[in-house]
Chain A
Amino acid sequence: MLLNQFLLLGALLFAVGVYGVLARRNGVMVLMSIELMLNAVNLNLVAFGLQHDVVSGQVFALFIIAVAAAEVGVGLAIVLLLYRNRKSIAVDEFDLMKG
């Protein structure tokens, strides 16, 4: 197996996640795409951890999973609050900062 096959898979998933974050209108979908990006990073960490023979890669992947869980919790609470106030979670409808 090549190191690169995992890294390239991670890179592709990351790019797909970026597209999802930037293009999807639904707030929940944006959060899902963020999860995709975080997972792509995790794959890199685990692959490099194996390559360099250190356990730190796995440990940090674990930390990222924990942080991602926290992020989803807070993110969904924000989406819920948006929905309650505006009856919509289409992120391109929120443009109070428009110049």
Chain B
Amino acid sequence: MDWILENAFLIPLIPAVSFLVILLFGRSVIGAERVHRVGITAVGIVWVLSMLAAVSWITRVEDSTSYKSDDAEHAQIAVNEGLSASSAGGLDGELHLAAEDDGYGDDGGGYATTEPVISEVDGWWSSSGVDFAVGTLVDGQTVLLLIVVTSISLLVHIYSSEYVKGDRRFVHYYAFLSLFTASMLFFVMAQNLVQMIVGWELVGVCSFALIGHWWEERPNTDAALKAFLTNRVGDIGLLIGVIILFGTFGTFDIDAINRAVGEMGSEVHFAMLMASIALMAAVCSKSGQFPLHTWLPDAMAGPTPVSALIHAATMVVAGVFMIGRLYPVFFEGFSIGTSSINLMAFIGGFTALIGAGLAFAQWDIKKVLAYSTVSQLGYMVMALGVGAWTAAMFHLFTHAFFKACLFLGAGSVSHAAHHTFDMREMGGLRKYMPHTYKTFVISTLALAGVFPFAGFWSKDEILLGAFAGQESAYPLMLIFGCVVALLTAAYMTRVIWYTFWGEYRGHGHPHESPKVMTVPLWILAVMAVVAGAFNLPTPVMRIFGLEGLAHLVQTYAEPTHYLNAIGLSHPPPSFWLAVVGLVMALAGIAITFMYFWRNTGPHGLTERNRYAKAGYTFLEQKYYLDHLYTDIVVGSIKAPIARAANWVNDNVIDKVVNTAGEGARDSGRWVYRWIDQGTIDNTVNALGSGADSGGQGLRVMQTGKVQNYGSLLFGTAAVVAIVFVIVL
């Protein structure tokens, strides 16, 4: 049963092969209009394998829990069997099952620890005495991401076959979708940090290529470059963080690093703090956290299914995933267990807040969703920052479905409304596109966190995590969370009003999208309703008498062997907090409803009141962050140099010249008055020829002949060597 967990390398391999097949044979052998079948087949197989992996993993967790109740001898036999079975089915290289159930119970959360399945080939390569292994690490977190990535990817592949049909680069599009899927799967099962960096960069490259899919238009290439360059900033942080971790522990192995942090604890606090800050920069760029989030809304220049897959559901959660993967490092570095505010929680909460604020001022439906993604990613990072690991991963899981549904819905709207994303040219579409409308509303309710949709459960857990904290509560984060819940419900209701209600303001006749597009929408909408069931709190499940099915994500996805070592606790569910979260969401919807549908409230406030107008402009200009980066940061490097040069030119050189000229004029008059014309002439001529001969003398050095420059170079080297060897 563990076969798929040990041979998990097959999962990224299949889409990688599909990428090569599409790229090399797509146009010639398969035919440009049929390449999507290759992509869909490959991702379909991978989806089945991922589901198998999920089942295997759940069985494994169940087994290790039952070992705990059995006697230790029995467990030992099972371990040996597992080892021999795995070595029999291994690769040619030395493939081995590194870790098995270690049989001892935990002392933290009341769950048995289940070891991750690590398959690795030792000595992939080595350099300067450091061995680099390659392999896969499969645990609950990986399996969770496998489900998310393959499910969304499959639906996006299907949806795209209609959405980008007839595109001039259809083959290229499907090739990169496959490569992206392969890279993301490779990333989530990375066994060591080097592999993680490789996957991280690969998904970045795919994102770059797909944002710039229609590169003939200048804004698209600009957006792609912006995404790429902003991510480079964070990648430096990632490299530095990995180097610090390697320097501290002497290994790239993720499992070993997590264990080592758990054992050493505060001994390595300072190094972990530095590593966490560096890695946080990487998270900020990849997962669109303040202040490096500005690339994500621009990334909407790419095709909409790409936005759904890469810039909403999967790639942008790479940062969140990375924090979750190296959670002991961050937990120790930011003192999450003992503090009541820390850098990660603050960045997350603040990003959630500003992202939600920005979503109000956008007219482009995709940009609203993009800022919503920024905001929700901030929510996840905040959850990790307050110690709610499970809540963050659960929110990642549910968010992927409903946000992908929203993006695909926006794509469907645009497909119908003649390729515009401007909400001012939409309106009244609920009559023309009933399926898109219904799925969009369902996902909106899920995103807003209305009971009993998926977002309600995951958002509630995050609020609970902030409320309970670890040793002390995170009050500021709780406030952030509640305000963002209100704002999220409000701006999403605004989108629905502008897009689907009122009268149609565009041109042409909008029409419902074909089944190829609406069926994925419905599947995602159903997931947006039921995804919450994967981690229902025990008291809720008790009502149905299904206590065993409560906290599925917590039970099966948590890497308990690390989290128990650092002493992570789980807060008990709170009924009243759930009510508060729900009231916030409903209040947001109600306020917007009153504003638009009932036409009450301060309409036209932004036109009348100059403070409100200033605030709106501030939002519309995205807090002026783009201006900060392009005008002030870049400008501060360019402009002052130019200005300084200009100043020097105006004030110093001109003055010197003027003074010299005036002096020369005055002295000339004086000399003219006292000395005869010939002397003046001679003096001037002498000055002129002096400058000329000085220039000529220096010109001799600039012969343009490479050997003369070489002589100077070697001669100077000899002189410097003489100085170093003999004089010093």
Please list the residues of chain A having a beta carbon within 8 angstroms of any beta carbon in chain B: 18, 21-23, 30, 91-92, 94-99
Please name all residues of chain B whose beta carbon is closer than 8 Å to the beta carbon of A99 when the two chains form the complex: 699, 701-704
Report the interface size for chain B: residues with CB under 8 A from the other chain: 11
Q: In the bound complex, do residue A98 and residue B707 qualify as a contact, i.e. CB atoms below 8 Å apart? A: no
> What's the least CB distance linking B122 to chain A, in Å?
23
Residue-wise interface mask of B (685-728) relative to A, using a CB-CB cutoff of 8 A (1 in contact, 0 not):
00000000000000101111111001100100000000000000
Partner of B702, one of A21, A30, A92, A97: A97
> Can you give 20 A-B contacts (C-beta < 8 A)?
A21-B710, A22-B710, A22-B711, A23-B707, A30-B707, A91-B705, A91-B707, A92-B705, A92-B707, A94-B704, A94-B705, A94-B706, A95-B703, A97-B702, A97-B704, A98-B704, A98-B705, A99-B701, A99-B703, A99-B704
Q: Which residues of A contact B704 (CB under 8 A)?
A: 94-99
Query: What separation, in Å, do the CA atoms of A97 and B705 have in the docked complex?
Result: 8
Distance to closest chain B CB from A44 (angstroms): 15
Assembly CA distance A99 to B699 (angstroms) = 6
The residue of chain B having its C-beta at the shortest distance from the C-beta of A98 within the complex is: B704
Contact across chains for A18 and B707 when beta carbons are under 8 A apart: no
CB neighbours of B710 from chain A (8 A): 21-22
A6 to B711, CA, bound (A): 26
- Which single residue of chain A is at the shortest CB-CB distance from B702? A99
Smallest distance from the beta carbon of A22 to chain B beta carbons, Å? 5
Contacts of B707 in A (CB 8 A): 21-23, 30, 91-92
| Chain A residues, CB < 8 A from B701 | 99
Give A88 Cβ to nearest chain B Cβ, in Å.
14
The 8 closest A-B pairs by CB, nearest first: A99-B702, A95-B704, A98-B704, A97-B704, A92-B705, A22-B711, A95-B705, A22-B710
* Chain B residues closer than 8 Å to A96, beta-carbon distance: 704
- Contacts beyond the supplied A94-B705, A99-B704: 14 A-B pairs with Cβ under 8 Å: A21-B710, A22-B711, A23-B707, A30-B707, A91-B705, A94-B704, A95-B703, A95-B705, A96-B704, A97-B704, A98-B703, A98-B704, A98-B705, A99-B701
Would B706 and A18 count as touching, CB distance under 8 A? no
**Complex Cα distance A94/B705, Å?**
6
Q: Complex: how many Å from CA A38 to CA B702?
A: 28
Closest to A23 in B: B707
Task: Check B714–A98 contact: CB distance below 8 A.
Answer: no
When distances are taken between beta carbons in the complex, the residues of chain A under 8 Å from B699 are 99
Instruction: Please give, as numbers and ranges, the residues of chain B lying within 8 Å of A97 by CB-CB distance.
Output: 702, 704
Chain B residues numbered 306-340 whose CB sits less than 8 Å from any CB in chain A:
none
- List, in ascending order, chain B residues with CB within 8 A of A94's CB: 704-706
The CA of A83 and the CA of B299, in the complex, are separated in Å by 50
In the bound complex, residues from chain B placing their C-beta under 8 Å from that of A21 are: 707, 710
- CA of A96 to CA of B702, assembled, Å: 11
- Assembly CA distance A85 to B707 (angstroms): 20
Shortest A62–chain B CB gap in Å is: 17
Q: Which residues of B contact A92 (CB under 8 A)?
A: 705, 707
Residues of B within 8 A of A91 (CB): 705-707
**Chain B residue nearest in CB terms to A92:** B705
Closest to A18 in B: B714
Closest to A24 in B: B707
Q: How far is the CA of A33 from the CA of B703 in the complex (A)?
A: 22
From A93, which residue of chain B is reached at the shortest CB distance? B705
B710 to A, closest residue via Cβ: A22
Residue of B nearest to A97 (CB): B704
- Of B701, B702, B706, B714, the most chain A CB neighbours within 10 A belong to B706
B718 to A, closest residue via Cβ: A18
Closest residue of A by beta carbon distance from B711: A22
Q: How far is the CA of A97 from the CA of B699 in the complex (A)?
A: 11
Q: How far is the CB of B713 from chain A (nearest CB, A)?
A: 9
In the bound complex, CA of A91 to CA of B704 (Å): 10
Query: In this complex, which of A18, A30, A91, A94 has the most chain B Cβ atoms within 10 angstroms of its Cβ?
Result: A18
Chain A, residue nearest B695 (CB) = A99
In the complex the two chains form, what is the Cα distance from A58 to B96 in whole Å?
Answer: 36
Q: Closest CB-CB distance, A84 to chain B, in whole Å?
A: 19
Cβ-closest chain A residue relative to B700: A99
A98 to B704, CA, bound (A): 4
A84 to B122, CA, bound (A): 53
Q: How far is the CB of B232 from chain A (nearest CB, A)?
A: 29
A99 to B706 alpha-carbon distance, docked (Å): 13
**Chain A: minimal CB distance from B706 (Å):** 6
CB proximity to A under 8 Å, residues B403-452: none
In the bound complex, residues from chain B placing their C-beta under 8 Å from that of A30 are: 707
